[in-house]
Structures are given as structure tokens and as C-alpha cells.
């Protein structure tokens, strides 16, 4: 997709080599430091082992060479660019005033918990889910109501009957993850409509974490913005988005909330006041460069990830003791390894040289999450280790 940008100083790069090895050891990388000095391949935390789009790297290089790293500010052109991107990509008309800039989405989840309802109120989440969904309510003196997703025939689904059973009169907030980390679902229009109706019936605010929305792998699916399904949805939704997963710049902490309901937005801003720092200047520069000049790179990335997904699905599908559903979006595979260890299969794989995220951290033991956002050679080596591990049991 080409956006009206005027960003003609960045050369267009058409060939992107995602197979090119990138050495991340000794780079203070969270993902790689965990297994420093050990023969364990890190396929855990959700960042990718690819260099960011050339437009991002070039912009950051210039910024660093400029050498002055003072306070940043979100300029009007950038806001306009973000609104234009949301309109063109998601048919979502966003007023610039609805945007609230954040140094991270986890921060946004925690602010949402404090901004909605009162202490001791209930916050609903659907499990398994990205771990900060499970900790944010407690951090904010709210009670967690964790409702399992349903294991459908070949995909994970929202269990609407169970939501009705578990909802309490003091449930004020639902933390929703779409596309879903870790189960990889792209919830469709019907599912989101039904979820919004549920929240309307119970007067629940939705905090919709859509950080993975640009990483839709199934070409017959589209991301549906929760807040965009209708005015009622918009009025009760805090949307959280970022370029961080899309363009592999999560370490730079630039993200935003979109809140059209002014009362809710004011409350959100009040909770942030004096506590949440501004987005840093490198994060802003990288985000702007990505949204202006990263789209060709993203298209190429998605093709590469589709092939990695095909490899993971076919390998896992033919291994004993593990199983998974099709991954519709994200670069994460949620693998059922209960036959290996009902409690901590991650430990088993770690002992065999592959580091996954442990399912229990996501509220569902017996599973592991595999991050396939890496060079194919590394993925093949990891899958080979997995196969040897499960067949040697």
C-alpha cells in the first residue's frame, strides 16, 4: 500500500532478504540473552529476528548522526499520517483528537484497568492470552475473571455461553486481544458484533489490543477493528495499536490508544498524568518512517512468514505428541503439548535445545508458544530439535 507521504528522501528498496543471518547475540536482546552461553534456540518473546524496514534503519541512522536526542513531540503531520493509514487500511475514520500516545501497549492495558470502574471491580479476559492481560487487573486492584476460549473443531473460539455464565454485576472491563496472541485467530465481523452486544448488555468497556492487526497471514481474512463495527462499539472501546510488531521495532516503545468517547479518554489521560512518559524521539522517528516507507517491506515479510507458518504447521502436524490449529495471524504458534507434559512442556523442549514460551504464563498449562518470526534456517533447526526430542521420549 502506498500512502500519500511526500517521504521521497528514503530510497525505495524492493528486495528484502529475510533469510540473511542476523547475529543478535551480545546485543542486550531480551530474547537472546535468556539463553546466553547455552545451546538453546530462542523462539519465545514476540520480537522477530529480522532487521527493520530500510526506511526505518535509514531514518534512525540520520537521527543518531544528527546527534541531538532531546525530548520528542508528536507533530501534526505524523498524526495525519496515522489517521490516513487507519482510514485506508481499516476503513476507520479517526479524529486526531482521539489519539493518546503511549510508550507501550502493556502500559495501555494497565491504564485501561485503572481508568475503568473502581477498585475491586471485575475485569474479564479470555484465556489463554498474552500474560500482561492476566496481571494488569491485579496491578490495578481489580479482580481477574478469566474465561477460557473454546477449543472448536479446528480453531479457538469465543465461548459466548461461558462469558454469560461468568460475567458478574461488577464486571466493568473486558480486555480483548484481536488478532489473538497466542491462538492466532482473526476474529470475524460476526464474532465481534456478538462480543460488542454482550458488552452493551452488561455495560462493559472493551479494551481492544490490536497490536497484531497488520500481521494477517490468511489472505481471505481481514482485520476488523472492534471500535469500527458501529457507534455503540466506538463509544465503549479503547483501542490499542502500534507499529511495533508490524515493523519489528518493539524495543523503541511507540504506540497509541484511540478513544472516541471523550469521557473515557479524559479518564484515561488523568490516570496517565505525571506517571506515563512521552514517547521517545527515536520511537517516534521509527514509527513515522515505518508508516511512510515500510509497506513494501511488510508485504514481503508477510509472504516470508506465510512460508514459515506452512513449515511449522506441516512439521508439528507430523510430530507425535504435539498438535496445533491453523495460525490465521501473528508469527506465533500455540502448540498443544499436553501429551508431553501437562504442566510445563516448555521445560522439556528447553532441555532439548529449543526455548518456547510456557503455556502456564498465558493461563493454560500443557501448551507452548513458538515464535516463527526468524530466519528459516533457524526455524528448521528448531523444528528438527523438536522432532528429535518428541521421538526420543
Chain residues binding ligand PLP by CB under 6 A are: 46, 104-106, 130, 177, 181, 209, 211, 242, 244, 250, 255
**DSSP, res 103:** S
Please say which residue, 24 or 202, places its beta carbon nearer to ligand PLP: 24
Minimum distance between the CB of residue 243 and ligand PLP, rounded to whole angstroms? 10
Please say which residue, 250 or 293, places its beta carbon nearer to ligand PLP: 250
Residue number closest to ligand PLP, CB atom: 104
Please say which residue, 13 or 302, places its beta carbon nearer to ligand PLP: 302
Nearest to 312 by CA among 377, 383, 373, 378: 383
Please say which residue, 211 or 316, places its beta carbon nearer to ligand PLP: 211
Give the total residue count for the chain.
393
C-alpha–C-alpha distance, residues 299 and 63, integer Å: 26
C-alpha–C-alpha distance, residues 240 and 113, integer Å: 13
**DSSP, res 96:** G
Minimum distance between the CB of residue 244 and ligand PLP, rounded to whole angstroms? 5
- The torsion angles phi and psi of 205, rounded to 5 degrees, stand at -85, 140
Helix (H) or strand (E) holding 306: helix 295-317
Please say which residue, 177 or 281, places its beta carbon nearer to ligand PLP: 177
Minimum distance between the CB of residue 255 and ligand PLP, rounded to whole angstroms? 5
Cis omega before residue 42 (within 30°)?
Answer: no
Minimum distance between the CB of residue 219 and ligand PLP, rounded to whole angstroms? 22
C-alpha–C-alpha distance, residues 53 and 57, integer Å: 6
**DSSP, res 211:** T
Minimum distance between the CB of residue 8 and ligand PLP, rounded to whole angstroms? 30
Please say which residue, 176 or 348, places its beta carbon nearer to ligand PLP: 176
- Measured in whole angstroms, the distance separating CA 354 from the mean position of its chain's CA atoms is 22
Minimum distance between the CB of residue 24 and ligand PLP, rounded to whole angstroms? 17
Amino acid at each position: 500500500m502506498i500512502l500519500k507521504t511526500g517521504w521521497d528522501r528514503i530510497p525505495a528498496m524492493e528486495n528484502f532478504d529475510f533469510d540473511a543471518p542476523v547475529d543478535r547475540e551480545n546485543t542486550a536482546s531480551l530474547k537472546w540473552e535468556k539463553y546466553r552461553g547455552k545451546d538453546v534456540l530462542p523462539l519465545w518473546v514476540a520480537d522477530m529476528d529480522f532487521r527493520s524496514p530500510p526506511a526505518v534503519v535509514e531514518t534512525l541512522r540520520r537521527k543518531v548522526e544528527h546527534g541531538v536526542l532531546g525530548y520528542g513531540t508528536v507533530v501534526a503531520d505524523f498524526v495525519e499520517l496515522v489517521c490516513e493509514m487507519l482510514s485506508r487500511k481499516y476503513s476507520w475514520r479517526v479524529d486526531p483528537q482521539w489519539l493518546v500516545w503511549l510508550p507501550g501497549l502493556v502500559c495501555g492495558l494497565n491504564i485501561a484497568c485503572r481508568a475503568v470502574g473502581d477498585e475491586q471491580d471485575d475485569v474479564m479476559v479470555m484465556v489463554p492470552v498474552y500474560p500482561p492481560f492476566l496481571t494488569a487487573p491485579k496491578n490495578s486492584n481489580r479482580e481477574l475473571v478469566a474465561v477460557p476460549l473454546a477449543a472448536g473443531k479446528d480453531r479457538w473460539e469465543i465461548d459466548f455461553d461461558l462469558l454469560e455464565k461468568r460475567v458478574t454485576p461488577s464486571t466493568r472491563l473486558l480486555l480483548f486481544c484481536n488478532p489473538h496472541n497466542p491462538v492466532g485467530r482473526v476474529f470475524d465481523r460476526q464474532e465481534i458484533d456478538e462480543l460488542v452486544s454482550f458488552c452493551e448488555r452488561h455495560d462493559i468497556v472493551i479494551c481492544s489490543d490490536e497490536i497484531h492487526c497488520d500481521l494477517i497471514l490468511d489472505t481471505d481474512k481481514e482485520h476488523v477493528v472492534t471500535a469500527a463495527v458501529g457507534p455503540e462499539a466506538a463509544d465503549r472501546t479503547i483501542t490499542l495499536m502500534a507499529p511495533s510488531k508490524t515493523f519489528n521495532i518493539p524495543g523503541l516503545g511507540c504506540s497509541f490508544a484511540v478513544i472516541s468517547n471523550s469521557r473515557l479518554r479524559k479518564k484515561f489521560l488523568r490516570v496517565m498524568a505525571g506517571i506515563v512518559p512521552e514517547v521517545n524521539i527515536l520511537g517516534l522517528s521509527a514509527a513515522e518512517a515505518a508508516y511512510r516507507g515500510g509497506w513494501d517491506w511488510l508485504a514481503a515479510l508477510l509472504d516470508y512468514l506465510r512460508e514459515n507458518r506452512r513449515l511449522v504447521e506441516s512439521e508439528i502436524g507430523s510430530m507425535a505428541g504435539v498438535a496445533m490449529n491453523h495460525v490465521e495471524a501473528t508469527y506465533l504458534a500455540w502448540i498443544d503439548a499436553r501429551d508431553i507434559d501437562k504442566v510445563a512442556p516448555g521445560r522439556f523442549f528447553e532441555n532439548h535445545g529449543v526455548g518456547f514460551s510456557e503455556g502456564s504464563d498465558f493461563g493454560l498449562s500443557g501448551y507452548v508458544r513458538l515464535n516463527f518470526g526468524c530466519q528459516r534456517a533457524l526455524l528448521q533447526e528448531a523444528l528438527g530439535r523438536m522432532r528429535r526430542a518428541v521421538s526420543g521420549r
